[in-house]
Structure 1
Amino acid sequence: MTKKMVTIGVLALQGAFIEHINHLQKAAKSAKSGSLVAGVQIKAVQVRTVEQLKSVDALILPGGESTSISLIAERTGLLVPLQEFVRIKRKPVWGTCAGLILLSDQASKATKGGQKLVGGLHVRCQRNHFGRQTESFSCDLALPFIDPNDPDDRFSAMFIRAPIIDRLLDSDTTDNFEALSLSDENVVYAPKLEADSDDRTLVEVICRLPKTLGSEADDIVAVRQGQIFGTSFHPELTSDVRLHLWWMEECVLPYLE
């Protein structure tokens, strides 16, 4: 019997998109018999045009430079289709680092007029929270697939000029996030869409930084809102493909018709 084809796109305007494609392919091959991923054929493709976006079932917005990605998307006519993909069609999507910024309803430490947002993820993220690239670091995270009773089971995440989520926006604050932003000239916000009023899916905190990091401990670095997933870090820059497999199992395949 021929397996159903599921096409996952990776936005390929700038940043680490090839690495995500490689991880998706490796993760699909690693799926155990009987799992959702093992039951379908995963095709990973680059997305640069509106037509390519229309052809995919799910999408990853990769790390890179969020301002550059948003400007290229706007110039190539992709920004509005991306907003519709996430917020009207409500397709599964994952944003890593810069991709998390783009998916957020609000972004602080941003340059007015320079940063455009896709929106849909009801959070405010803080850009470049950890400073410059020279202050990059890695640490082990307690992600959902990690066995807390196994000291050898770990996922080492890489943070490079990474954002954090510093506010969860519930349904009331989401309705008023434009007004909230007026008090901070360095906050930009995604444009409102009519479909936003129907989206009351709550944001779930998936992961925080470990307490061993001192002042940065408990910073939120991974969230999920239904079929929308966001991470501050770069899982595609490690050799571990388990987070890509978990995303397909939990956030993609259950949401496809």
Structure 2
Amino acid sequence: MESGPTVGVLALQGDVREHLAALRASGMRAVPVRRASEIEVVDGLVIPGGESTTMSRLLGVFDLLEPLRARIADGMPAYGSCAGMILLASEVLDGRPDQQQLGGLDVVVRRNAFGRQVDSFESDLDVVGVEGGPVRAVFIRAPWVEKAGADVEVLASVPSVGSEGQDPGAAAGRAVAVRQGNVVATAFHPELTGDGRVHALFAEIVRGAG
């Protein structure tokens, strides 16, 4: 039942519907957001996976960039998955020169760090703040965190041996879930697995901020 705060999902591009469903299952009132006026009235915001350079361009086209930056800087809870992590980072590597950042996280992320679409994979990860065992993480052209500031908490990293026994190579030890204050980001897509625990963690942050 939706009885909690209102959380928006940035609905310019990406897997919007899946995030809306996951938030509603966590008891949030979930609404798509496409206008600056809608950003002003939500209690939190999800930036979904998709194509980060396209989303960056559309933020400018729809005059959403500055309103979003202002609300996040003012403490509005935000959660970004995959492309959302890239947009929330203070700096991105291998992005377009004109790509815009929201700057909610003091991290440097590498875009498409895990490779191309054909290199997409799944793994089981222990996530700080998520109880009940490992989270099944789906990585699709995912970023990873190259560097995190002192105020950033790493919630999950790629293990040295994958859940199927595979060698993760250069990805081993890379941070793939982080939190700084009310802002959370994951390199993976919990909205695609039916496991609502990451969204429930974000819902707790939204309630606490309210």
Cα distance between partner residues in 2 of 1:162 and 1:61: 14
The code of the aligned residue for 1:92 comes to P
TM-score, scaled to structure 1: 0.76
Counterpart in 2 of 1:217? 172
Q: Would you say the 8 A contact 1:146–1:155 is kept in 2?
A: no
Q: Give the structure 2 partner of residue 35 of structure 1.
A: none
Deviations 1:26-72 (A, max 9, x none): 122xxxxxxxxxxxxx2100000011111100000110001101111
- Which structure has the greater CA radius of gyration? 1
Within a 5 Å distance, the mapping from 1:182-193 to structure 2 comes to none
1:38 aligns with none
| Equivalence for 1:15 | 14
1:111 aligns with 2:96: yes
Amino acid across the alignment from 1:121: L
Match of 1:100 in 2: 85
SS of structure 2 residue aligned to 1:211: coil
Gaps in structure 1 of 5+ consecutive residues:
29-41, 148-152, 171-201
Task: Name the residue aligned to 1:26.
Answer: 25
The residue identity in structure 2 corresponding to 1:143 is V
User: Who is 1:123 aligned against?
Assistant: 107
**Is 1:253 the counterpart of 2:202 in the alignment?**
no
Equivalent residues of 1:106, 1:124 under 8 A apart: yes
Judged with a 3 Å threshold, the aligned counterparts in structure 2 of structure 1 residues 53 and 164 are, in CA distance, closer, same or farther, namely same
Helix, strand or coil: the match of 1:100? Answer: helix
* Secondary structure of the structure 1 residue equivalent to 2:202: helix
Runs of 4+ that moved beyond 4 A: none
Identical aligned residues as a percent: 40
Instruction: Give the structure 2 partner of residue 226 of structure 1.
Output: 181
Q: How big is the alpha-carbon RMSD for the aligned residues of Structure 1 and Structure 2?
A: 1.4
Number of residue equivalences: 202
Match of 2:198 in 1: 243
Q: 2:43 aligns with which of 48, 57, 60?
A: 57
Residues 23 and 244 of structure 1 are in contact (CA less than 8 Å); yes or no, is this contact kept in structure 2? yes
Letter in 1 for 2:160: K
Find the aligned partners of 2:48 and 2:4 in 1 and give their Cα distance. 22
* 1:85 CA displacement: 1.2
Q: Structure 2 regions of 5+ residues with no counterpart?
A: none
